[in-house]
Amino acid sequence: MTQLALFDLDNTLLPCDSDYEWGQFLARIGVVDSQYYAKQNERFYADYKAGKLNIHEFLRFALKPLSEHSRAQLKEWHDHFMDEVIHGQLREKALDLVKRHQDAGDLCCVVTATNSFVTRPIVERFGIEHLIATEPATVGDNPLADFTGEVKGIPNFREGKIERVAAWLASQKLALDQLPCSYFYSDSMNDLPLLEKVSHPVATNPDARLRSEAVKRNWPILELFA
């Protein structure tokens, strides 16, 4: 029987937030107004950590730069971002955690609120085939067309993760409540809805609120970057 291993990405498999770092990178290379963008980026990141992020307001902000440049230009910048920022954030303990599940034959998937343009190349570095992320809308139906700056479908955030995971599993002819064993690794209290749905929730490098909740519920706490 299939066992499932779900992983959040930012501050879970990575010791940083890729969405925040991408914004800082764009500001550093002058693609966006550095003072304004950095200030807004900090505000949204603080709201996220405090559990009060307005996801739709944030996505309008985060996806706007994608709509202002060609896919070829964005890829060139993202390649530099991977080399300059992400490569140095890949940690052996996180890679080993994923590999243990893969070696056990588990179905592995990253489930992240960060958009798929930013995260897919990162997830590929972990050798994980499946990604459920917030999807940026593209012009027409062509997934390789330029971005519109809008969101396609449901943002993959909080309760949205449950809906998106259920739809993905259905496409695999699976259902969460029918699996013998399901893991979800996350650092954030924002992921409590999905953590409550799996058979094996694991608070991974947890923020203060999730750590307290994990202790209360007797959930395991995993420190990958200590």
Q: What is the pLDDT of residues 166-183, one digit of tens each?
A: 999 999 999 999 999 999
For the chain, which residues make up each domain, given as ranges?
3-15+90-222, 18-88
Averaged over 124-140, what is the pLDDT? 96
How high is the pLDDT of residue 137? 95
Q: Average pLDDT for residues 191-198, to the nearest whole number?
A: 98
pLDDT at 1 exceeding the cut of 80: no
Q: What is the pTM of this model?
A: 0.96
Fold of 18-88: de novo design (two linked rop proteins) (1.20.1440)
What pLDDT, on the 0 to 100 scale, is given for residue 118?
98
User: Which is the CATH superfamily of the domain at 3-15+90-222?
Assistant: HAD superfamily/HAD-like (3.40.50.1000)
pLDDT tens-digit series, residues 78-113: 999 999 999 999 999 999 999 999 999 999 999 999
Q: What's the pLDDT tens digit per position in 210-225?
A: 999 999 999 999 999 9
For residue 23, give both structure tokens: 């914004």
pLDDT of residue 87: 98
User: Contact, 138 vs 121, CB < 8 A?
Assistant: no
Long-range contacts of 74-77 (CB under 8 A, 24+ apart): 74/117, 74/147, 77/25, 77/26, 77/29, 77/31
Distance from C-alpha of 210 to C-alpha of 206, rounded to nearest angstrom: 6
Q: Any idea which residues carry the catalytic annotation?
A: 8, 10
Task: Determine what percent of the chain is predicted with pLDDT higher than 70.
Answer: 100
Q: Give DSSP secondary structure letters for the chain.
A: --EEEEE--BTTTBSS-HHHHHHHHHHHTTSS-HHHHHHHHHHHHHHHHHT---HHHHHHHHHHHHHTS-HHHHHHHHHHHIIIIIGGG--HHHHHHHHHHHHTT-EEEEEEEEEHHHHHHHHHHTT--EEEEEEEEESTT-TTSPEEEEEESS-SSTHHHHHHHHHHHHHTT--GGGSSEEEEEES-GGGHHHHTTSSEEEEES--HHHHHHHHHHT--EE-S--
Q: What is the pLDDT of residue 100?
A: 97
Q: What is the pLDDT of residue 143?
A: 80
